[in-house]
C-alpha cells in the first residue's frame, strides 16, 4: 500500500486566532496516523508562484488514512478553530509503491 502525503500551504491572517488551531491541529494529525515531516520551515520557489508563508508536509500510511484524519472529529474541531485565521490549501498526494521506485 502506498503512503500518502498531505501538503498544506498556509498564510496566517490572524495569529491570535490561529493559536487555537495550533493547540488542536498537530495532535489531531498525529492521532490520525500522521507524521509531521515539515511544518513551516524555509521554502523557496524555483519555478512557479512564491510559496505560502507556511508549507506543511505530513506523511500518512495510506490515502485512506489521510482522508479519514481530515474527516475525523478531532481534526474537524481543529479546522473550526482555524476559520477566519488563515488562508489554507490542502492537497493529499499518493506516494509511489515500493516497487514503483
Every domain of the chain and the residues it spans = 4-41+51-96
pLDDT of residue 64: 97
Task: Please determine, for residue 66, whether its predicted confidence score (pLDDT) is greater than 80.
Answer: yes
Question: Domain 4-41+51-96 has what CATH class?
Answer: alpha beta
Q: Give the pLDDT band (50/70/90) at residue 97.
A: confident
Task: Please determine, for residue 78, whether its predicted confidence score (pLDDT) is greater than 80.
Answer: yes
Contact 90, 71 (CB under 8 A): no
Q: 1-58: per-residue pLDDT in tens?
A: 899 999 999 999 999 999 999 999 999 999 999 999 999 889 999 999 989 999 999 9
Q: How far apart are CA 91 and CA 68, in angstroms?
A: 14
Q: How far apart are CA 29 and CA 36, in angstroms?
A: 8
pLDDT of residue 98: 72
Distance between terminal CA atoms of the chain? 13
Across 56-83, average pLDDT: 97
In which residue are the cell numbers 472529529 written? 73
Contact 6, 62 (CB under 8 A): no
Q: Pairing state of beta strands 4-12 and 86-94?
A: antiparallel
Contact 2, 63 (CB under 8 A): yes
Amino acid at each position: 500500500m502506498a503512503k500518502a502525503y498531505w501538503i498544506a500551504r498556509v498564510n496566517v491572517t490572524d495569529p491570535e486566532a490561529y493559536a487555537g488551531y495550533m493547540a488542536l491541529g498537530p495532535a489531531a494529525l498525529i492521532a490520525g496516523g500522521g507524521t509531521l515531516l515539515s511544518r513551516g520551515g524555509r521554502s523557496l520557489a524555483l519555478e512557479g508562484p512564491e510559496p505560502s508563508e507556511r508549507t506543511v508536509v505530513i506523511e500518512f500510511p495510506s490515502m485512506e488514512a489521510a482522508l479519514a484524519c481530515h474527516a475525523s472529529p478531532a481534526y474537524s474541531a481543529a479546522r473550526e478553530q482555524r476559520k477566519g485565521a488563515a488562508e489554507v490549501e490542502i492537497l493529499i498526494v499518493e506516494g509511489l509503491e515500493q516497487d514503483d521506485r
